[in-house]
Structure 1
Amino acid sequence: MTLLSNVVRGDAVLQQGPDASVHPPAELATICLPYRPESVGAARRFVCAKLQEWGLNDLVDDAAVLVSELTTNSVETGCQTRMLVGVRRPIDHVVRILVGDGSRSMPVMIQAGPDATSGRGLAMVHRLTHGRCGVTLLPFGKVVHADLASPGPISR
């Protein structure tokens, strides 16, 4: 078992961080969802629509996988409040997907066996983000984040 512990500083919370000048505040979007299985699909639709609006169509498929995995984990915490799902653009061609919940239990990446029916989600998140994922603990919960980068323009 490996603790997903790429802890980041305060910019992981569902607010504009100190780099807000890079993109206008409108390029942070959040949605509040109940802890129910159907919230996974709602979060996926929300994030994918926002990426399409921003013209980041090349990130939509991977973002759908990431937000599905992160919200599924959040739903399974058993919290009774609401989870927050956010997406923001810290810089061009990078999006950060955030899922905040009321549990301080840290996500754990496990080595799922070939017959296991679950347990591969955080490994997929780690692979899709090239390790650019982590957790920020809050006084009454946590925010899990995952960063996706598109190739972007080629600099010469």
Structure 2
Amino acid sequence: MSSSQLRRFPRRRTSVGASREFVVRVLREWQLTDLIDDIELCASELATNALLHGVAPGREFSVRLDLTDDLVRLEVRDGGDGQPLVQPPEEDSCSGRGLFLVGELASEFGADHHVVGKTVWAAFKRPADL
């Protein structure tokens, strides 16, 4: 079984919530409700990073979910050329924990650089069928 869903979002604060809603809807369609909380949080963090660090004014970012037999892969692509960095969490900081959280929740994650922009991705193991 293999499937894919992609949606583009404008550079607006409301796009973070819209990207979470998109991820939740797709995971429900795929009947993967056990993964919703983790993937929704990661989508929120990656979309926020795309808005803050990667999307030029007037441009969009995209969110993609790919489903295979054993994995769900979340991808957020933007036009920025920055290198995503995992920062150790600091107790007194209100920000900077996004990629650390993604690394804790996902089975694996990384970034692929393109001629223009990058894709930051996170892979999640599908729960075994009962």
State the match for 1:125 in structure 2.
Answer: 102
State the match for 1:63 in structure 2.
Answer: 39
**Distance in structure 2 (CA, Å) of the matches to 1:93 and 1:111:** 30
Q: Mind listing any 5+ residue stretches in structure 2 that lack a counterpart? A: none
Confirm whether residue 148 of structure 1 aligns to residue 87 of structure 2.
Answer: no
State the match for 1:100 in structure 2.
Answer: 77
Provide the alpha-carbon RMSD of the alignment. 1.3
**Distance in structure 2 (CA, Å) of the matches to 1:138 and 1:115:** 35
Paired AA for residue 148 in structure 1: F
Question: For the Cα contact (< 8 Å) 1:56–1:93, is it kept in 2?
Answer: no
TM-score (norm 2): 0.92
Runs (4 or more) in structure 1 with deviation over 2 Å come to none
TM-score (norm 1): 0.78
Paired AA for residue 36 in structure 1: R
Q: 2:112 aligns to what SS in structure 1?
A: strand
Deviation readout 1:96-143 (Å, 9 max, x if unpaired): 00000000101111123211011111111001013x100000001001
**Distance in structure 1 (CA, Å) of the matches to 2:10 and 2:106:** 26
Q: Mind listing any 5+ residue stretches in structure 1 that lack a counterpart? A: 1-21
Counterpart of 2:19 (choices 43, 50, 53) is 43
Q: 1:28 aligns to what SS in structure 2?
A: strand
Q: 1:113 aligns to what SS in structure 2?
A: coil
- Cα offset for 1:42? 0.3
Higher relative contact order (CA 8 A, sep 6+): 1
State the match for 1:10 in structure 2.
Answer: none
Counterpart of 1:82 (choices 55, 60, 78) is 60
**Distance in structure 1 (CA, Å) of the matches to 2:5 and 2:125:** 18
Between Structure 1 and Structure 2, whose CA radius of gyration is higher? 1
Question: For the Cα contact (< 8 Å) 1:94–1:148, is it kept in 2?
Answer: yes
State the percentage of identical aligned residues: 34
**Distance in structure 1 (CA, Å) of the matches to 2:122 and 2:62:** 14
- Cα offset for 1:79? 1.5
State the match for 1:110 in structure 2.
Answer: 87
Question: For the Cα contact (< 8 Å) 2:89–2:100, is it kept in 1?
Answer: no
